[in-house]
Amino acid sequence: MQRVLVSGAGGFIGRRLCSHLQRQGLYIRGVGRQIVPGLDDNFTLDLACDSCPPQLCAGIDTVFHLAGKAHALAETREDEAEYRKINTEGTRKLLEAAQQAGVKRFIFFSSVKAVGDSDRQPMDETVAAPADTPYGQSKYEAEQLVLHGGYVPHPVVIRPCMVYGNSDKGNLPRMIEAIRKGVFPPLPELHNRRSMVHVDDVAGAALLAATRPEAAGQIYIVSDGQDYSTREIYDGIRAALGKSPSSLSVPIGLMRVLAKVGDGIGCLRGRRFFFDSDALAKLTGSAWYSSAKIERELGFKPVQDLPRALPEIVRYLES
């Protein structure tokens, strides 16, 4: 691996991946809607709308494909069409460009949401339940193109759990800000289990997937090896913010009533209220995944976990 292309190089994971690649002295070509400073080369390109120029993948041996449309909190019909246009068809375009240029490796950043939930806990790569959201379906369809389209000899799919790190976007920064302001409800300990992963560990897993021959044709879930309840995350954030531990908790019955009220408000105004039954389900439910396969097959070892990372994330958000 000497010359790589990173789509979505300007995004949260893309920036960290490029930093890891630069430390290895690799030539990096960024692809995205904006130029990313500090890279060897850049192509400004919208994979949803633009055709890939013939020279896009010229001289490239490895593609890391991160560009895509992220999961929206409240999906609309327009979102559904865009998911397929960007996540599925955009991936097809880049695969075709990679094939024409003779690219050897294609590492696709998918999501654990590419498949549905299972009674098997923790869930692993053998879960084959259909994705239950348009976002997940678009990611699954893209995975099939990557793994079974015959475009490159070394295709790999990475399925990260919820990614955390120094970013002001996503559910975790919103939760930190709400707890800072004292408006996030102290949920009781429900012993739900949620898997997460640090952005640097996602980058490390991708490098292993690109450089280990046995990774070809495989799907790998990536987590930090821990599972966290929502209450544990809440307590950890309070500690990172310098707040004293709280013994308070809002009864789950009251939360369900408030969620139903939110459902009603959403129906009246024609769009979701910020707190409804779906939001409550995400807060109190489990999303527990195993990364045993990548640990066993590629020797992946996470170097971060949420309690150690939270103080740095809080400092980043305060800066």
Residue with tokens 């102290």: 186
CATH number given to 3-166+195-226+288-305? 3.40.50.720
Tell me the whole-structure pTM to 2 decimals: 0.94
* Domain residue limits, the chain: 3-166+195-226+288-305
- Preceding peptide of 153 cis, ω within 30°: no
Compute CA 11 distance to the chain's CA centroid, rounded to the nearest angstrom: 11
Distance in angstroms (rounded) separating the CA atoms of residues 206 and 224: 14
Cβ(145)–Cβ(91) below 8 Å = yes
- Strands 105-109 and 162-164 come out as unpaired
Written as one letter, the residue type at 235 is D
Distance in angstroms (rounded) separating the CA atoms of residues 5 and 102: 13
The DSSP annotation for the chain comes to: --EEEEETTTSHHHHHHHHHHHHTT-EEEEEESS--TTSSEEEE--TTTSPPPTTTTTT-SEEEE---PPPPSS--HHHHHHIIIIIIIHHHHHHHHHHHHT--EEEEE--GGGB---SSSSB-TT--PBPSSHHHHHHHHHHHHHHHS-S-SEEEEEEE-EEESS-S-SHHHHHHHHHHHT-S---------B-EEEHHHHHHHHHHHHH-GGGTTEEEEE--S--B-HHHHHHHHHHHTTPPP------HHHHHHHHHHHHHHHHHHTS--SSSHHHHHHHHS-B-B--HHHHHHH-------HHHHHHHHHHHHH-
Distance in angstroms (rounded) separating the CA atoms of residues 147 and 155: 6
Written as one letter, the residue type at 173 is P
Q: Residue 262 corresponds to which tokens in the numbers above? A: 């939110």
**Which of 9, 135, 143 has the alpha carbon at shortest distance from 82?**
135
Distance in angstroms (rounded) separating the CA atoms of residues 184 and 246: 12
Each of the 319 residues of the chain gets a pLDDT tens digit; together they read 899 999 999 999 999 999 999 999 999 999 999 999 999 999 999 998 999 999 999 999 999 999 998 876 555 666 788 999 999 999 999 999 999 999 999 999 999 999 999 988 999 999 999 998 999 999 999 999 999 999 999 999 999 999 999 999 888 999 999 999 999 989 999 999 999 999 999 999 999 999 999 999 999 999 999 999 999 999 999 999 999 999 999 999 999 999 999 999 999 988 888 889 988 998 999 999 999 999 999 999 999 999 999 999 999 999 9
